[in-house]
Chain A
Amino acid sequence: MSGARLELAGVGKNFRGLRAVHDVSFSVPAGAIHALIGPNGAGKTTIFNMIAGVYVPDAGAVTLDGRKISGLRPDRVCDAGVGRTFQIVKPFKGLSVLENVTVGALHQRPDLTEARDAAASLLAQLGLHDRRHQLAENLTLPDRKKLEVARALATGPRLLLLDEVMAGLRPTEIDVMVAFLRDLNARTGLTILLIEHVMRAVMALAREVVVVSYGEKIAEGTPQEISRHQAVLDVYLGEQEAS
């Protein structure tokens, strides 16, 4: 398993005249971890949904290793090598934790026993092994977030899209998740793009950060550059009055 290069070129999306995303371009090199940040309603999840095939962009294109994936159905995008989590978690509630991840693992392993073994090993890595026989609906929110990650990883992606997986986690749990993702990235070269509000995680993980506001990209750079960027400060802290 190795990472794939993601590229967005002039991507845009309107909802009944509302301009949700406009002319957004950025790329994530193979094996890199980048973050997508911005205020609520900036269009981050819409961008994710265009990469994952939930929405078809009205303009521009999304490519993975040079192959166009925008316009494909979500399951085809998964076939192409994209795994994603949902901001509002979507566990298969009536199935056990193990079976949740097994469904993901079946994507690359048609044999149920093999898929279950692969799922069990992923759950062990994410610290959910003890809860593997519980129904997913009985998990706490932090565990559901981990389950989202495990299920997405089980499909064997080359690009992982993480939509606010740190939200709701305690600081120590955030550090564990950060360490897990960093180790995974170092071990497998998996490309990761994360939407995140938890700056502690963004600073620790992301090589580069893309900032969006009102559907447009307003800045791009290393975490250090971004934290000093005037437009970003304006968006997050409010514009300072000219004196």
Chain B
Amino acid sequence: MKFGRRLTDGVPSRALWGLGVLLLALLVAPALLGKYGLSVLILVLYFAFVGQAWNIMMGFAGQLSLGHALYAGLGGYVAAGLFFHYGLGPWAGVFVAVAAAAAAGAIVGYLGFRFSLAGVYFALLTIAFSEFTRLAFDHWEWAGGSGGLFLKVDATVDVWNLRGGPLLFYYLILALAVGAFILCRALLESRLGRYWLAIREDAEAAQAVGVPVLRCKMIAVVISASLTALAGVWNAFYYNNLFPETAFAMGRSIEITLAPIIGGLGTLFGPVVGAVVLTGLGEAFTDASEYFHIPGMKQIFYGLALLVIVIYRPAGVWPWLADKLGIGERRP
């Protein structure tokens, strides 16, 4: 009870009602939406979830990672590989997958934080790790090499082995997104969360008031990498194929960062709103470019739209929107 009160403490009741209605809507959405609508909603929830995971590092602790594809890719490959080779179900494999990604995060984090790589230099380190992991997987026979790893497509629903259609994966990613949202709220309203914000604002001043800076940053990267690995596992079993060229691609890492940046760094709802805006724009421009038969139109307008948002709402769409709705997240 106390934990529950802590989570909702200081949140306007209007916002709580809003969240409840939203959750209810998401629960019944599959019954109302068609196949296409459901696939779009799945994308939204996926980006909201990985965005939330990435936001822990950048939005809370202020550490810029441009290599989060590493954790998603590792998570996906480990769980899929164990299932493919040894028939180990993903519900067990996910533990190994998360452990692998957490270890990778700890290595990248330790190298960066221990040797005081800050800002863009830390970001370069994260890119480097993601890139050379891609190269390693290109040549790793067990993981299928550059030819990729394929899971057998099976339409029969088997929850224990994560085999099934979009509906199964929809509810899974919904559970993950909701879980991450609650986890982030709990983290933010804890001592650790406040220490992250202090580190983000000024690490030297934080350390002077007793914040163990290295330890806090390490916890941030390990939690962030672990959650991202969950997204990777989900991704692998949803799409049934993995290629090093896409799983560890730079573009995949960038994709993960967009929703929280567009939605509002360091806010809980930013990644969610960002995911809605991004996926919505992406789908709209895809339709438009098909309608007008202009290939490449999607990318141009998508890029322009992002540019406009970043210029006019540099703090993200959510803080502005929340202000309009009168349910602003109380700024910590």
Interface, chain A (partner B; CB < 8 A): 52, 54, 73-75, 78-79, 83-84, 86, 90-96, 99, 102-104, 106-107, 110, 112, 115, 135, 151-152, 154-155
Contact = CB atoms under 8 A, between A and B. Distances in A.
Nearest to B201: A92
25 contacts: A54-B204, A73-B212, A74-B207, A78-B207, A78-B209, A83-B209, A84-B208, A90-B208, A91-B201, A91-B202, A92-B197, A92-B205, A95-B197, A95-B331, A95-B332, A96-B331, A99-B197, A103-B195, A103-B206, A103-B209, A104-B209, A107-B210, A112-B189, A155-B209, A155-B210
Contacts of A155: 209-210
B210 A94 contact: no
B213 interface: yes
A99 to B, nearest CB: 5
B70 interface: no
A90 B202 contact: yes
B211 interface: yes
Contacts of B246: none
Contact of A151 (B6, B204, B209): B209
A75 B211 contact: yes
Interface of B: 6, 189-191, 194-195, 197-198, 200-202, 204-213, 331-332
Given A52-B208, A86-B208, A99-B197, A75 B213 contact: yes
Contacts, number: 81
B191 A106 contact: yes
A115 B210 CA distance: 14
A112 B211 contact: no
Given A99-B197, A112-B191, A78 B208 contact: yes
A19 B161 CA distance: 67
Contact of B202 (A79, A92, A96): A92
A74 B203 CA distance: 11
Contacts of B332: 95-96, 99
B223 to A, nearest CB: 19
B201 A93 contact: yes
A103 B198 contact: yes
B194 A152 contact: no
A78 to B, nearest CB: 4
A135 B198 CA distance: 13
Contact of B194 (A73, A79, A84, A106): A106
A26 B325 CA distance: 60
A112 to B, nearest CB: 6
Contacts of B212: 73, 75
A103 B197 CA distance: 9
Given A75-B210, A103-B211, A135-B331, A86 B194 contact: no
A154 B331 contact: no
Contacts of A92: 197-198, 201-202, 205-206
Contact of B207 (A73, A95, A106): A73
Query: Which 3 residue pairs of A and B lie closest in terms of their CB atoms, listed nearest first?
Result: A92-B201, A78-B210, A90-B205
B202 A99 contact: no
Contacts of B211: 75, 103
A74 B208 contact: yes
Contacts of B202: 90-93
B154 to A, nearest CB: 48
Nearest to B205: A90
A204 to B, nearest CB: 26
A115 B206 CA distance: 16
A94 B194 contact: no
Find the residue from B189, B190, B207, B208 having the highest chain A CB count within 10 A.
Answer: B208
Given A92-B198, A135-B331, A79 B209 contact: no
A54 B332 CA distance: 28
B3 to A, nearest CB: 13
A195 to B, nearest CB: 15
B201 A95 contact: yes
A107 B209 CA distance: 7
B201 A152 contact: no
A31 B207 CA distance: 25
B209 A99 contact: no
Contacts of B213: 75
Contacts of A90: 202, 204-205, 208
Nearest to A101: B209
Contacts of B197: 92, 94-95, 99, 103
A106 B205 CA distance: 14
Nearest to B206: A103
